[in-house]
Amino acid sequence: MLPFIIYGLQNYLKIKNLLKVLQICNKAPFPANDGSSIAIYNMAQGLIENGVKLHLLTINTKKHFKADAGVPEEFKQNSNYTSVFKNTDTSLLGAFSNLFSNQSYFVSRFYFEEFNAKLIEILSNNKFDIIQLEGVFVAVYINTIKKYSNAKIILRAHNVENKIWERHLGNSKKSILNFYLKLQNKRLKKFEHRVLNKLDAIIPITNNDKHLFETMGFKKNIFTCITGVDVKNYQTKNNVNIKEKTIFYFGSMDWMPNQEAVNWFLKNCWNKIYKAVPDSRFVVAGRGMPQSFLQLSLPNVLVIENVIDSRAFYEQYQIMLVPLLSGSGLRIKIIEGMAYGKAIVSTSIGAEGINCDPKKDILIADTANDFSDAVIELLTNSDKRIELEKNASEFAYKEFDNKTVVSKLVQFYNTILNA
């Protein structure tokens, strides 16, 4: 009888002492169809799989609206899922009005009373160990969190946001718009610095960003945690017919760095590649495709506005391109691409945060000529492409398993709670 009592007591204590986490997001995570929603959803799944008692509270924006009805019931229950709708789109009036404040318009549009009220309700009815902010934009709610909770406040930094704009503006021509964006980025940078003083820890996705936060003066706990994926699921093939001599770019095309990347590639690389391999084809795909891309009329260039089945898309096209010139954090699409076993050509910025061999697991090229030559080599040398595919797949298995990745974060959380 005594062993059963002890066993029951152990189970009771185990349940009672579960790590309790509130995950606050600025974008609904399901369906996980872009980099940030993949990062949020996979993190939530990883926390659940590692025994965390999770509450997920998200802004459901007009721009990236995802109906609650489409979220799987099991995930809703396991994550105590709550979303609050808000139109956070930029507008000319909002942008102009913001000039007369001292806040960054990038940030201020994510604060609204309905979400604040829901946050207060959740904090009042639950006691959390950790409150994990998914990105700096939801840091506008830190004062509310501190008023209603004693939990550790952690920023999971998908990017160093001001660095994205800094890099982009460095590649752009002078204009009235750029003047306005520089002002907003200056305010954003100040906001990010103020936020650092209110945090208990930062979880950057890459060591590059970890270093940036350290140079910004953050001296508390920092733990790098890459975004994981269910690698085994990615490598289950559907036997889709592969289109030979194809290269592709796949990403959210309403994100400025992605537009910049495709424009750079088309302007500086595609002509040379097409001349060297006349039967090659370039496919640009992603949600939020701008009209300027939809109206492109270039030889052997195909633009797809919405990809219905991303698995089938990855399987049918051969060589993945990531010619990013700006951005910060981790390109989740590279994680996915390697998990799918794709041969990838990327710039150094595109591959930031992925500790792979730049000649064995992926090809890195930073000039137009080098980038073009790398693509041509993979189009004309199938042995090299197949070798790269195999190495990418093996690297993904070793580095990106989601449950393992998040288990290390849970260990870190327990460490700082017990410090």
- Return the pLDDT at 54: 97
Distance CA 356, CA 402 (A): 17
Report pLDDT for 209. Answer: 87
- Token pair 């733990």: residue: 223
**CA atoms of 154 and 130, how far apart (whole Å):** 7
Give the count of beta carbons closer than 10 Å to the beta carbon of residue 275. 11
Q: Tokens for 416, please give them.
A: 């700082």
Token output for 190 = 């100040």
**Region of 135 on the Ramachandran plot (φ > 0 left; ψ -120 to 50 alpha; else beta):** left
Element (H, E) at 154: strand 152-157
Give the integer Cα–Cα distance in Å for 43 and 79: 11
- Cα distances from 44 to residues 40, 81, 376, in angstroms, run 6, 10, 40
CATH of domain 15-228+401-417: 3.40.50.2000
State how far the Cα of 272 lies from the Cα of 401, in Å rounded to an integer: 38
- 15-228+401-417 and 231-399 agree in CATH topology: yes
Residues 6 or more apart in contact with residue 272 via CB below 8 angstroms: 368, 369, 372, 376
Pairing of strands 246-250, 221-222: unpaired
User: What is the per-residue pLDDT for 165?
Assistant: 65
Residues in CB range of 331: below 8 A, 6 or more apart: 35, 322, 324, 346, 350, 351, 352
Residue bearing tokens 């396991």: 78
Q: What parts of the chain have a pLDDT lower than 50?
A: 3-16
Count of CB atoms within 10 A of residue 383's CB? 7
- The CATH code belonging to domain 231-399 is 3.40.50.2000
Q: Where are the domains of the chain?
A: 15-228+401-417, 231-399
Single-letter residue type at 224: T
Cβ within 8 Å of residue 73, ≥6 positions away: none
Contacts of residues 97-104 at CB distance under 8 Å and 24 or more positions apart, as own/partner, are 98/184, 99/183, 102/187, 103/187, 103/191, 104/184, 104/185, 104/187, 104/188, 104/190, 104/191
